[in-house]
Amino acid sequence: MVDISYPITIAAARAWFRLGDVRLRMSGLEHIPTSGGALIAINHVSFVDYVMAGFPAAERGRLTRFMAKREVFEHPIGGPVMRSFHHISVDREAGAESMAVAAQRLRDGEVVGIFPEATLSRSFLIKPLKTGAVRIAADAGVPLIPIVLFGTQRFLTKGRKMDLSRHKTVGIEVGAPIHPSGDDPVGETAALQATMEGMLDRLITDYPAEERPPGAWWVPKAYGGSAPTLEEAEAMYAEERRQRAERKAAKRSER
């Protein structure tokens, strides 16, 4: 497939990193294959995770095709951009079709990115993972590579205004490939979760102390910050879902 806008966007991101003094601390780049299909599973803490999570593959000369919810593709501006990048639309009510598309892209030798938490984590810890990542990788017969980010939430995350001020560190760890069989999706997903949690712990622990003041809103409580706990964040999500359902019901009643 022909890519025109994607390489231009990567070049723009590199310029942003340089001019904004975005300090990328990356490790494990050697785990991204230079050819052949690979599924990368990424934690989700920010609206710029697509940019940051695709950077390790870009450093290896690869483009990542991200799976993203259908609503993004329906946006009048975002939709054409996502399609020009050849990303994969996910209809949450017809997930099997999206998984089949992703598996075929992987068999075709593409790098595909998935956020197995299925939504952004307000606690900045890793939410319980869905089994889709291990099932897709097993179906396609490709390695599943975990990537964990920390620090991207400082730029733009849910409930916060964009902050593009300079001199921010972003930690990115690429884990060793996993080869799920698909025989036990729940157990293999639990192993993936444990791996990603260990990676996140390293990123937070190693984050520059001078940039991480006590009580920082973007640091999990367990690490001295003031972000919501997993339980508090889940309660916030539940309230958001309730309000969203009420708005949908109100729109239906108006028709």
What is the separation of C-alpha 202 from the centre of its chain, rounded to a whole number of angstroms? 18
199 forms beta bridges with none
pLDDT band at 93 (very low <50, low <70, confident <90, very high): confident
Confirm whether 250 is domain-assigned.
Answer: no
Gyration radius from the chain CA atoms = 18
For residue 231 the two structure tokens come to: 């339980």
Is residue 183 scored above 90 in pLDDT? yes
Please indicate, yes or no, if residue 245 is contained in any of the structural domains: no
pTM above 0.85, yes or no: yes
> Which of 178, 87, 190 has the alpha carbon at shortest distance from 131?
190
Q: Give which of 60, 55, 59, 79 is closest to 68, Cα–Cα.
A: 79
Tokens matching residue 146 = 């975990």
- % the chain with pLDDT above 90: 86
Contact 64, 54 (CB under 8 A): yes
Q: Number of structural domains, the chain?
A: 1
Q: What percent of the chain has pLDDT over 70?
A: 100
Instruction: Count the neighbouring beta carbons within 10 Å of the beta carbon of residue 8.
Output: 11
Residue 43: give its domain's CATH number. Answer: 3.40.1130.10
pLDDT for the residue numbered 220: 97
Within-domain flag for 219:
no
Name the token pair of 157: 């995350």
Query: Would you state the structure tokens that stand for residue 164, as one six-digit string?
Result: 């593009």
Count of residues making up the chain: 255
Do the domain assignments include residue 27? yes
Q: What is the mean pLDDT of residues 236-254?
A: 86
Is 41 part of any domain? Answer: yes
Range of the domain at 166: 5-212
3-state secondary structure of 162: coil
Residue 92 pLDDT exceeds 80: no
Count CB-CB contacts under 10 A for residue 220. 21
**233 in a structural domain:** no
Q: How many CB atoms lie within 10 A of CB 97?
A: 12
Among 192, 48, 53, 27, smallest CA distance to 116 is for 192
Q: Which two tokens stand for residue 89?
A: 């639309």
Give domain status of residue 249, yes or no. no
